[in-house]
Amino acid sequence: MNTASTPATPSTPATPTTPTTPKIVIVTGASSGIGAATARRLAAVGHHVVLGARRTDRLALLTKELREAGHSAEHAELDVTDRAGVRAFVEAVLARHGRVDVLVNNAGVMPLAPLAALRVEEWDQMIDVNLRGVLYGIAAVLPSMRERRSGHVVNIASTAAHRVDPTAAVYCATKYAVRALSEGLRQENSDVRVTVVSPGFTRSELTDKGGDAEAQGAARTATELIGLPAAAVAEAVGYAIAQPAGVDVNEIVVRPTVQN
């Protein structure tokens, strides 16, 4: 794992965008889109970000960018569908820093297609990445958070967790599930904060791979026309994390104003 020392406490007064104490934050799916934007946002306000994704070349470039800007960051390869790999990733962070303050479960895939297309392998992929990946992340960080009686799990869902659209049935099902398990996690823990951030159309690489060409093309066109910058979603994540320990922002829905 590429490492950097934990940053010193900032000398500037605390504000909603400046943490009183820097946190150790894991961000999954950090090689692009919302994950990369979240890493930039949180590092810029003084947190130490630990970036995970499969594309380590991109992670290396982002880590270099953050360090050259004077921020604190490290990265390592992470496949959220590999339960043992997720556990090892988190254990390495715990060994180096002694704690994980925040987990941002961001990794996701969205190969859109009608159910009748029977793209079963893509169904499995969405379940593995979007749902099991979130569960594996929670399983890896929750014991230490409960032991410390402190921690924050931020799950990136989607407005697809609030409605179902044609060609997106399985994707919506996984995001509905993320909302459900997040609420269960919240109810079961009084010391661990839980936040679900549900973005609408957001500029990212979600529509670049797999799925039905027509469905993916329609989603890509809509995103290009009205999509939020990934930085807008990162701001929502930063807002939730910046609240005092006794304040748990449970859910944020952020979408383009023109999205119905």
| 8-29 pLDDT tens trace | 333 333 344 455 689 999 999 9
State in Å, rounded, how far the first CA of the chain is from the last one: 43
When pLDDT is cut at 50, 70 and 90, the band that residue 1 belongs to is low
What is the domain count for the chain? 1
8 occurs within a structural domain: no
Is pLDDT at 110 greater than 50 in this prediction?
Answer: yes
Catalytic residue numbers read 171
Task: Specify if 136 maps to a domain.
Answer: yes
pLDDT at 185: 98
* Structural domain contains residue 96: yes
Say which residue the tokens 């820093």 belong to.
Answer: 97
CB-CB neighbours of 226 under 10 Å: 15
Helices (H), 69-109: 83-97
Environment class of residue 116 by beta-carbon count within 10 Å: exposed (0-12), middle (13-18) or buried (19+)?
exposed
Q: In this structure, what CATH number is given to the domain that contains residue 81?
A: 3.40.50.720
Q: Which residue has the tokens 């829905």?
A: 253
User: Which string of b and e fits 29-63 if b means at least 16 CB within 10 Å?
Assistant: bbbbbbbbbbbbbbbbbbbbbbbbbeebebbeebb
Q: Mind listing the pLDDT tens digit for each residue in 46-101?
A: 999 999 999 999 999 999 999 999 999 999 999 999 999 999 999 999 999 999 99
Structural domain includes residue 204: yes
Evaluate whether residue 236 is within a structural domain.
Answer: yes
In this structure, is residue 230 part of a structural domain?
yes
- 3 in any annotated domain: no
Whether residue 2 lies inside any domain: the answer is no
Q: How confident is the model at residue 223 (pLDDT cuts 50, 70, 90)?
A: confident
Domain range spanning residue 87?
24-253
